[in-house]
Amino acid sequence: MSQVNYDKEYKRSIKDPENFWMEQADNINWFQKPTRALTQDENGFYRWFKGGKLNTSFLALDAHIEDGRGEQIALIYDSPVTQKVEKYTYNQLRDQVSRLAGGMKRLGVEKGDTVIIYMPMIPQAVVSMLACARLGAIHSVVFGGFAPHELAIRIDDAKPKIIITATSGIEFDRIIPYKPMVDEAIREATHSPEHVIVYNRRLGAIRPDSDKDIDYATLMKIADPARCTEVDATDPLYILYTSGTTGKPKGIIRDNGGHAVALYYSMKYIYGIHPREVFWAASDVGWVVGHSYIVYAPLIYGCPTVLFEGKPVKTPDASTFWRVISDHDVRVMFTAPTAIRAIKKEDPNGNFIKQFDMSGLKYLFLAGERCDVSTLEWAQENLNVPVIDHWWQTETGWPIVANMMGNEEHFTVKPGSATKPVNGYNVQILRQDGTQANPNEEGYVAIKLPLPPGTLPNLWGDTERFRMGYMKMFDGYYFSGDGGFIDEDGYVFITGRVDDIINVAGHRLSTAEMEEVVAKHPAVAECCVVGIDDDMKGQVPLAITVLKAGADMESFQLQTEVVNDVRKEIGPVAALRRVLVAQRLPKTRSGKILRKIIRAIADGKEYNMPSTIDDPEILAEITTLFEEEKIGVYGK
Contact present, 607 and 601 (Cβ < 8 Å)? yes
Q: Is the dihedral of CA 596, 598, 604, 610 positive or negative?
A: positive
Query: How high is the mean pLDDT of the chain?
Result: 93
What is the tens place of the pLDDT at every residue in 398-447? Answer: 999 999 999 877 899 888 899 999 999 999 999 989 999 999 998 999 99
The whole-number pLDDT of residue 586 equals 87
Range 505-635 classified under CATH 3.30.300.30: yes
The whole-number pLDDT of residue 611 equals 60
Question: In the 8-state DSSP scheme, what is residue 459?
Answer: B
Q: Which runs of consecutive H residues, i.e. helices, occur in 37-140?
A: 56-57, 63-66, 90-106, 123-135
Q: How far is CA 391 from the centre of its chain?
A: 12
Domain ranges within the chain, ordered by starting residue: 6-310+390-448, 505-635
What is the tens place of the pLDDT at every residue in 210-224? Answer: 889 999 999 999 999
Checking if the pLDDT of 246 tops 80, the result is: no
- Least trusted range by pLDDT, from 46-60, 133-147, 241-255: 241-255
Task: State what percent of residues in the chain have pLDDT above 70.
Answer: 97
Rounded to an integer, the average pLDDT of 66-84 is 97
User: DSSP characters for 614-633?
Assistant: S-THHHHHHHHHHHHHT-GG
Task: State what percent of residues in the chain have pLDDT above 90.
Answer: 75
Q: Is the dihedral of CA 364, 277, 296, 425 positive or negative?
A: positive
Checking if the pLDDT of 1 tops 50, the result is: no
What CA–CA distances, in Å, run from 599 to 140, 349, 610, 622?
Answer: 34, 33, 15, 11
Q: How confident is the model at residue 247 (pLDDT cuts 50, 70, 90)?
A: low
As beta bridge partners, residue 505 has none
The whole-number pLDDT of residue 612 equals 62
List the CATH code of the domain at 6-310+390-448.
3.40.50.12780
The whole-number pLDDT of residue 212 equals 93
Question: In the 8-state DSSP scheme, what is residue 15?
Answer: H
- E strands within 223-265? 231-232, 236-242, 250-255
Contact present, 71 and 87 (Cβ < 8 Å)? no
What is the tens place of the pLDDT at every residue in 95-124? Answer: 999 999 999 999 999 999 999 999 999 999
Among candidates 225, 609, 237, which has minimal Cα distance to 397?
237
Rounded to an integer, the average pLDDT of 343-364 is 95
Rounded to an integer, the average pLDDT of 22-32 is 98
CA–CA distance, 437 with 323 (Å, rounded to integer)? 46
Q: Cβ contacts of residue 592 below 8 Å, gap of 6+? A: none
Contact present, 233 and 257 (Cβ < 8 Å)? yes
User: If DSSP codes are grouped into helix, strand and coil, which group holds residue 279?
Assistant: strand
- The strand pair at 420-421 and 231-232 is best described as unpaired
Among candidates 445, 449, 500, 443, which has minimal Cα distance to 471?
449
User: DSSP characters for 515-584?
Assistant: HHHHHTSTTEEEEEEEEEEETTTEEEEEEEEEEPTT----HHHHHHHHHHHHHHHT-GGG---EEEE-S-
CA–CA distance, 213 with 560 (Å, rounded to integer)? 36
CA–CA distance, 212 with 214 (Å, rounded to integer)? 7
Q: Cβ contacts of residue 398 below 8 Å, gap of 6+? A: 262, 263, 266, 270, 292, 297, 392, 422, 454, 455
Rounded to an integer, the average pLDDT of 33-62 is 97
- Least trusted range by pLDDT, from 20-29, 304-313, 337-346, 495-504: 495-504
CA–CA distance, 350 with 378 (Å, rounded to integer)? 9
Number of neighbouring beta carbons within 10 Å of residue 408: 11
What is the tens place of the pLDDT at every residue in 455-507? Answer: 999 999 999 999 999 999 999 999 999 888 999 999 999 877 777 677 888 78
What is the tens place of the pLDDT at every residue in 517-574? Answer: 898 899 988 888 999 988 888 889 999 998 887 887 888 899 999 999 999 988 888 8
CA–CA distance, 118 with 131 (Å, rounded to integer)? 15
- Least trusted range by pLDDT, from 267-271, 309-313, 348-352, 588-592: 588-592
Checking if the pLDDT of 168 tops 50, the result is: yes
Checking if the pLDDT of 291 tops 50, the result is: yes
Q: Cβ contacts of residue 126 below 8 Å, gap of 6+? A: 75, 93, 285, 294, 295, 307
Backbone angles phi, psi at 507, to 5 degrees: -100, 125
What CA–CA distances, in Å, run from 397 to 216, 420, 501?
Answer: 30, 17, 18
Burial of 564 (0-12, 13-18, 19+ CB in 10 A): exposed
pTM of the model: 0.87
